[in-house]
Amino acid sequence: MLKIYDTELNSRLMLGTSQYPSLAILSEAVKASKVDIVTVSLRRESGKNRSGQSFWSLIKELNVRVLPNTAGCHTVKEAVTTAAMAREIFGTDWIKLEVIANEDTLQPDVYALAEAAKILCSDGFKVFPYCTEDLSVAEKLLQVGCEILMPWGAPIGSGRGLNNIYGLKTLRAHFPDIPLVVDAGIGLPSHAAAAIELGYDMVLLNTAVARAGDPVMMAQAFANAVEAGRLCYLAKPIEKRDMAAPSTPVFGKAYLV
């Protein structure tokens, strides 16, 4: 059983709630994904059937835990203020902390991220920081009170998968007991499975499901992928080799003369 901030979770997948064609499709996708947690932004685009009381009612009906985020924030003050608003609105001290440095890549501003995390942790928030795979950044976030790290796989919405497998593996090896979540850039179920196979505890994604041709079917595919990845990790897969190794023993093989 996975435990994050003293909360036990059944699913190793977290799902975002934006960009879906309709609330009905969002509802079915969340059910198909079997997630325990969905992320919600206070800066959701408002439009027909996309916001307001109907959206919040739907989230409540799905019986999942809400993880508000500070998406779109570029400064410490902006992120901290948004987090405070989220705590009041959603009645939770969980917050996915995003402080963006660059509009083209949506890369985290790691300096502002650490500063905002320190403020929020001291104020009683349980912070889920969207960060890079940099070890020094990770160390700082843990020092200020974060109990989980959420490094990106690739730029948000890019669908590129795991751009820096070496960095992700190093982070996992350096922090064996810290919950790690690959957040952003996942495009295919195979990307999610690969992250879990590396020993990561969870995967968070949004666009790969919401913008798929069939979001509900894709949500189910990702649910199956993280389960397969976890079983693979526990089963201890074989090491890669540079040379072939026969799978059929040659000892005792009959030779014709």
User: All domains of the chain, ordered by start, with CATH?
Assistant: 2-235 (3.20.20.70)
Question: With contact defined as beta carbons under 8 Å apart, do 97 and 130 qualify?
Answer: yes
Does 52 count as an annotated binding residue?
no
Measure Cα distances from 51 to 47, 81, 147, 153, 223 in Å.
7, 21, 31, 29, 26
Catalytic residue among 3, 31, 34, 96: 96
Interatomic CA distance for residues 222 and 244, integer angstroms: 32
Measure Cα distances from 206 to 16, 17, 68, 166 in Å.
4, 7, 14, 24
Q: What is the pLDDT of residues 80-118, one digit of tens each?
A: 999 999 999 889 999 999 999 988 888 999 999 999 999
Q: Give the pLDDT confidence score for residue 85 in this predicted structure.
A: 94
Share of residues in the chain with pLDDT > 70 (%): 93
In the DSSP assignment, the letter for residue 92 is -
3-state secondary structure of 126: strand
Q: Give the pLDDT confidence score for residue 1 in this predicted structure.
A: 78
Q: Give the pLDDT confidence score for residue 183 in this predicted structure.
A: 95
Residue 199, token pair as written in the block: 């020993």
Does 184 count as an annotated binding residue?
yes
Q: What is the pLDDT of residues 157-192, one digit of tens each?
A: 999 999 999 999 999 999 999 999 999 999 999 999
Any catalytic annotation for residue 96?
yes
**Ranges of the chain whose pLDDT falls below 50:** 44-50
Among candidate residues 84, 80, 89, 38, the one with its CA nearest the CA of residue 61: 38
Does 206 count as an annotated binding residue?
yes
Please give the helix or strand (H or E) that residue 119 lies within, else none. helix 110-122
Question: With contact defined as beta carbons under 8 Å apart, do 145 and 127 qualify?
Answer: yes
Does 69 count as an annotated binding residue?
no
Q: Give the pLDDT confidence score for residue 46 in this predicted structure.
A: 42
